[in-house]
A and B are shown apart, each in its own frame.
Chain A
Amino acid sequence: MGRRKGSNTAQTSTNSSNQFEGTKIRFQDADDDGVATDNSNLDESILAVDKATEDVSMGEPDVSFVDSDAGDDKTSADYYFDSYSHFGIHEEMLKDVVRTKTYQNVIYQNKFLFQNKVVLDVGAGTGILSLFCAKAGAAHVYAVECSHMADMAKQIVETNGLSDVITVLKGKIEEIELPVAKVDIIISEWMGYFLLFENMLNTVLYARDKWLFNDGVVLPDKASLYLTAIEDAEYKDDKIEFWNNVYGFDMSCIKKQAMMEPLVDTVDQNQIVTNSHLLKTMDISKMAPGDASFTASFKLVAQRDDYIHAFVAYFDVSFTKCHKLMGFSTGPKSRATHWKQTVLYLEDVLTICEGEAIVGSMTVAPNKKNPRDVDIMVKYSLSGRRCVVSRVQFYKMR
């Protein structure tokens, strides 16, 4: 899944507090002066100081904090040096402990699922999931990867002495041929920002329909998308109102467009003003490809008097076929992942009183032109004591 970061630098880069920097995953905190955190892509941003900050048990021990009060500087490597950022993405994802450890635990702690089974790893990348499966006793693992990483994965499999168990196949799922007619398990890490951005879900579904035994297992098999609302005055100022005053000059003509871009960023749980509403649950083992487009209504009830500046979307992923239910959440109340959350800023600031509800609906669909982009429409209204608003807003993840 070498695409996630490369094509989403926009979102990543707008996170002005923390970000990943190329392959080296330098942690460069522009705002948080003096605190050096390294080798964790978990964003303990200034907003999330109270988050669990358990350190990653690998990676660079050196502290490479580059002090700066300069704004967030996306390294140009991401724009120009493809092969380089290519590795960088994998490093970033591997260093996402929530993600990788969950998969590792799912596999190592549920060996009964894997023993003597044939596994298909869709979008294998470095092959890490295949390696886990092989260690867990799979009879054979087919690791399919269409990018140049396939060659790396092959080499890695060899280096780790697992060539007899893992076969790396280079090519698109839709085009390759498997040496076997059916597989017992399909494993994949296909989730993108906002769950569906840049998504590989359809590829997984294609593989499922083509190769999975009727009683086969898809891992993960459940994904849910949630919506909540937050107070975010400070960041909205930083990111949107910025244009009103640039070194004393008015550049507000650029502002409106900024609103259209959902921001991938870490949200502190204390900012949450309302409940979370489950928008959509997808059963990966049963759903049809079209089910990824949907309209879902929501009702967000304020839990305190506050202002609301943005909606926040996040997702959970679960592996229900495990001995015990396993999975992870990318929500603001959970430990941060490289998916962070997706922030959708509102045109107006809503003044909401405890118990009042924002009702509305969200429509999500892949962009017609570029299916890897996601179009989002949110209709919402609030008729509260202090604020009456009804609006439709459009966003585009790109």
Chain B
Amino acid sequence: MSKNLMETEETNRLTRQEEEEDDEDSREAWTEEENEEDGDENDEDLEFLCLFCDFKYSSCDALFDHCRLTHFFDFNGIRKDLGLDFYGSFKLINYVRSQVADNRCWSCGVCCQSKQDLQSHLHPSVNTKDVKLLLDDDKYLNPFMREDSLLYSFDGGEEDEDECNTSFEKEEIVKDFGSVCIDDDDTAEETELNGETYNKDKKTVMACPNGHLSLASSSKIITENGMDYGENARSVESDPKDKQSRVCIADVVEKDIKKINDSYFGSYSSFGIHRDMISDKIRTDAYRQALLKNHSLLNGAVVMDVGCGTGILSLFAAQAGASRVISIEASEKMATVATQIAKDNGLWRSKTDSEGNKSCTGVIEVVNCMVEDLDKSIQIQPHSVDILVSEWMGYCLLYESMLSSVLFARDRWLKPGGAILPDTATIFVAGFGKGGTSLPFWENVYGFNMSYIGKEVVEDAAKFPIVDIINHHDLVTNAAVLQSFDLATMKPDEVDFTATAELEAKNDTLDHKATACFGLVLWFETGFTSRFCKEMPTVLSTSPYTPKTHWSQTILTFREPISVASSKFTAEGSAAVGTDACPASKILLRISIAHATQHRCIDISLETAGVGSDGRKRSWPAQMFNLT
């Protein structure tokens, strides 16, 4: 599941590559295709939602006029004042949306009781310079609102001067076309914009207002983990060439958004990352084993793969003898890849085969939509699926998790008693020591003391979970189960939970010395248990004790370390529990994980108490972590 980000990018590349392959056809042919294509997409209306109220506008200008006149928010004025470039403006929109969601004034920071209060509070900004500092946070590069078409449509602004947003894209497109056509050209100059190419491509873009649309949807891909709405009409069996060209334009435009992420978040874009996801053997092998080694389960079964990505699980299912595999992928790009791969491997099930016209060897059909919208794309009898398979797990199990989509599919299409793979999921927790932090490094750097940075790292980590590998040698307590899910029976609203756990200091040293516990490690296991996988049950573990996976572990750091020791430690009478003088022998935890208001994210709350060997108890203030 965490793979989807990468996979999306993967597809970008793929489609671009297809462009290249396509370039035997002349550039003109290309352009024509684009023009044909825009016909049916021309009349799509963009809906721009006001930053402050529920009004919607069909153009950015109208929207910004409204914001300026009604809400005292002068978008273009502020951009000019602050000299915001494209990314800055992008951040500005997300910043304002995030503040409004909290009923907070974007300009003075005052918190209002309600949206109405906020709207009446809004005032002309006094010192916009202050806002610039607040904007200086890369989190605002994440679209705050789903499908925020505004983000991809506002005028390109100062930086691009005469060129507006479309030309911003245009330039990129031209550039791309340039490189696409390179194979026959020998000189570097050909990659440069030359007038002719430029004009042609300009035409393409002009005639294709859908560029915006594609952009909007592509951003979704990034932000929503591939929930690309796209037009369902783009069914996979449409003329492949036409399809390709459509994808291409969207793809090219998408690069701008991707760039934002590239530059600031580190690149999602590498094919290598995707390769790494697939070659996360622990993950892939667990599924492979569950699917291939349980013949009685798979043989002749109707399988649904929720969020199929490259389709690797579907391929396994097909290989294992499934009679039909319905592979659902919300990202249009990824669906295209999965389709191509299924075809390349002779496992594609052509839809026309029911009429007997086309030869059909395969069993896989890829449906490009969200699970929730599946009925709009394809008719599947309710409760007709034998096996539901999905790799839905995110970091800390639930971050960006598709679990609710899987449960949706279960309740609608899975036969009573049908199999769900995996069918259990368990979250574990343990405490880690200093070795799990980078504190030691910063204490002496080429003779200089930089422990201030170490302190800062820890402070930061007390608010934001870290996803990283923890070595099991660095664990200072036992591991405890925090929460278990039975996917076959759980209710959709049980995804958010509160649970308690009790950790005991590791008892493996003879001297029973106190050691500092700097925080908690969370990880999960998913089980393909004998309930369904009778022949070969399997567990996929992301524990620090087992080989690492791309999920690593999730690290929650305490504000201050808690000293722990086994109960045999003799404490000094009056010292506070959790100090070196009176280490805790037990740590009591109460942890809630819930989906945050900002989509994709989860909030983790952590309450910690220490119990001394003498039974005295001390509680620390609750901590909130936001996994964004």
Q: Measuring CB to CB, which residues of chain A are less than 8 angstroms from any residue of chain B?
A: 5-11, 13-14, 16, 21-26, 28, 39, 58-62, 64-85, 87-88, 90-91, 94-95, 100, 104, 126, 128, 131-132, 152, 155-156, 159-160, 239, 242-243, 246-254, 256-258, 260-261, 263, 295, 363, 365, 368-370, 372, 375, 377, 379, 392, 394, 398
Contact = CB atoms under 8 A, between A and B. Distances in A.
A28 B273 contact: no
A94 B177 CA distance: 41
A77 B438 contact: no
A369 B628 CA distance: 28
A377 B188 contact: yes
Interface residues of B, number: 95
Contacts of A251: 310, 341, 344
Nearest to A149: B453
A78 B271 contact: no
Contacts of A69: 281, 547
B481 interface: no
A84 B268 CA distance: 17
Contacts of A249: 312, 315, 341, 344-345
Contacts of B319: 248
A254 B271 contact: yes
Contacts of B448: 128, 131, 156, 160
Contacts of B280: 70-71, 73
Interface string B268-308: 11111111101111111000100000000000000000000
B547 A370 contact: no
Q: Which of B17, B453, B456 gathers the greatest number of chain A CB atoms within 10 Å?
A: B453
A152 B434 CA distance: 21
Contact of B279 (A70, A90, A104): A70
B446 A87 contact: no
Contacts of B471: 26, 62, 64-66
10 contacts: A24-B436, A60-B440, A67-B547, A70-B281, A88-B438, A152-B452, A156-B448, A159-B452, A263-B272, A394-B191
Contacts of A254: 10, 13-14, 17, 271, 274, 337
A83 B279 contact: no
A89 B3 CA distance: 24
Interface string B445-458: 11011111100110
Contacts of A28: 469, 548
Contacts of A8: 266-267
Given A14-B273, A87-B438, 8 more contacts: A7-B267, A8-B266, A22-B466, A71-B280, A75-B469, A76-B467, A156-B449, A258-B13
A72 B271 CA distance: 13
A394 B549 contact: no
Contact of B548 (A73, A82, A131): A73
Interface of B: 2, 5, 10, 13-14, 16-18, 20-21, 138-139, 171-172, 175, 179, 182-183, 185-186, 188, 191, 256, 259, 262-276, 278-284, 288, 310, 312, 315-316, 319, 337, 340-341, 344-345, 395, 435-438, 440-442, 444-446, 448-453, 456-457, 460-461, 464-469, 471, 473-474, 547-552, 627-628
Nearest to B188: A363
Given A70-B282, A87-B438, A160-B449, A368 B262 contact: no
Contacts of A64: 435, 469, 471, 473-474
A59 B441 contact: yes
A316 B449 CA distance: 30
Given A66-B548, A247-B312, A84 B270 contact: no
A257 B17 contact: yes
A247 B441 CA distance: 40
Contacts of B550: 70, 73-74, 76
Contacts of B267: 7-10, 398
Give the secondary structure class of A's interface. mixed
Nearest to A95: B441
A156 B444 CA distance: 11
Majority SS at the chain B contact face: helix
B46 to A, nearest CB: 24
Given A7-B263, A80-B467, A83-B464, A75 B552 contact: yes
Contacts of A16: 276
B175 A368 contact: yes
Nearest to A391: B183
A397 B327 CA distance: 34
Nearest to A396: B179
Contacts of A392: 182-183, 185-186
A156 B464 CA distance: 24
B295 to A, nearest CB: 17
A361 to B, nearest CB: 9
**Which 3 interchain pairs have the tightest Cβ spacing?**
A14-B272, A71-B279, A10-B270
Nearest to B268: A79
A23 B456 contact: no
B344 A70 contact: no
B457 A13 contact: no
A372 B267 CA distance: 13
A94 B445 CA distance: 8
B266 A79 contact: yes
B78 to A, nearest CB: 19
A255 to B, nearest CB: 8
A75 B17 CA distance: 27
Contacts of A88: 438
A78 B273 CA distance: 12
A104 B446 contact: yes
A49 B547 CA distance: 24
Contacts of A131: 446, 448
Contact of B468 (A21, A87, A90): A21
Scoring B191, B438, B451 by chain A CB atoms within 10 A of each residue's CB, the highest score goes to: B438
B509 to A, nearest CB: 16
Nearest to A76: B467
B441 A91 contact: yes
A253 B549 contact: no
Contacts of B10: 254
Contacts of B315: 247, 249
Nearest to A251: B341
A187 B450 CA distance: 21
B281 A24 contact: no
Nearest to A377: B188
Contact of A372 (B263, B282, B474): B263
Contacts of B14: 253-254, 257
B138 A82 contact: yes
Contact of A155 (B5, B452, B551): B452
B449 A159 contact: yes
A97 to B, nearest CB: 10
Contacts of A152: 450, 452-453, 456
Given A68-B548, A94-B446, A261-B271, A7 B340 contact: no
A6 B284 CA distance: 27
A8 B10 CA distance: 16
A229 to B, nearest CB: 21
Nearest to B272: A14
B312 A246 contact: yes
Contact of B259 (A59, A256, A370): A370
A66 B547 contact: yes
A8 B175 CA distance: 22
Given A247-B312, A370-B259, A73 B270 contact: no
Contacts of B256: 369
A10 B273 contact: yes
Nearest to A78: B266
